[in-house]
Amino acid sequence: MDEHEQIILDVWRDNAAPWTHAVRTHAIASRRLVTDRVILDTVLAQHPRHAIDLGCGEGWLTRALSAEGIDTLGIDAILSLVESARTAGGGRFIAMDYAEVSNGALHERADVVVCNFALLGGTSVDTLLRAVPALLEPGGALVVQTLHPFSACGDAPYVDGWREGSWQGCGEGFGKAAPWYFRTMQGWIGTLKQAGLRLADMLEPPLPGTGRPASLVLIARVC
């Protein structure tokens, strides 16, 4: 495994507790103000009966979809996050990393596969997305919410590549941050395409008072 990809998993393992606290106390302003509602509404607009929440973290989205009557499976590599999710209840949860999903270990199909700020790596994400068509029912959709390349690029060159991470805006108690793989808009569409997926729609929800998008939401279907 690429060194960056391993660090991502190590960092999430080390920071599972402060992350759970941050999500459950609604400490992250952009989530509270915009992105939680956006991802929920986007998934609900697909009218799924079954959903898979890849990189579910402590499980808030799986719980929210389950509360809407959608049979939802949350998957995350970090056992302590999955255990927190199970303890909170609502939805089904399994501990599995993207490499296992990519290798066909997940025997489940859904009308929506959703990844909410959970596609952080490079080749791990390219490989995971290639497994998504086999997880989707006919006519199903992949829904991805991620950092908007325009807002996240900063002063660095506008090219795909590894960037240093930060816990800024997430609250207290975090250790070292994980690297993440920046993708341009062309990069995202290209990685969908190599996975046999085509972009069907996208959203750029504004972050109030900033004149900037709070996130990028991609809705993709099997080609």
- Ranked by CB distance to ligand SAM, the top (closest) residue is 57
Three-state DSSP state, 215: coil
Distances (CA, A) of 212 to 141, 147, 150, 152: 26, 11, 8, 10
Tell me how far apart the alpha carbons of residues 41 and 36 are, in angstroms, rounded to a whole number. Answer: 9
Stretch that binds ligand SAM, among 73-81, 133-141, 164-172, 199-207 (CB under 6 A): 73-81
| From 56, 82, 85, 142, residue interacting with ligand SAM (rule: CB under 6 A) | 56
Measured from the CB of residue 23, what is the shortest distance to ligand SAM in angstroms?
A: 5
Residue in the block written with tokens 């900037």: 212
Q: Assess 40 for contact with ligand SAM (CB under 6 A).
A: no
Stretch that binds ligand SAM, among 57-65, 166-174, 193-201, 202-210 (CB under 6 A): 57-65
What is the chain's alpha carbon radius of gyration, rounded to the nearest angstrom? 16
| From 43, 81, 131, 136, residue interacting with ligand SAM (rule: CB under 6 A) | 81
Per-residue burial over 92-114, b = 16 or more CB atoms within 10 Å of its CB, e = otherwise = bbbbbbbbbbbeeebeeebbbbb
Number of residues in contact with ligand SAM, rule: CB under 6 A? 20
Tell me whether residue 56 or residue 218 sits nearer to ligand SAM (CB atom).
56
| From 42, 64, 85, 98, residue interacting with ligand SAM (rule: CB under 6 A) | 98
Nearest-CA neighbor of 179 among 17, 53, 6? 6
User: Where does this chain bind ligand SAM (CB under 6 A)?
Assistant: 8-9, 12, 23, 55-57, 60-61, 76-78, 81, 97-98, 116-118, 120, 124
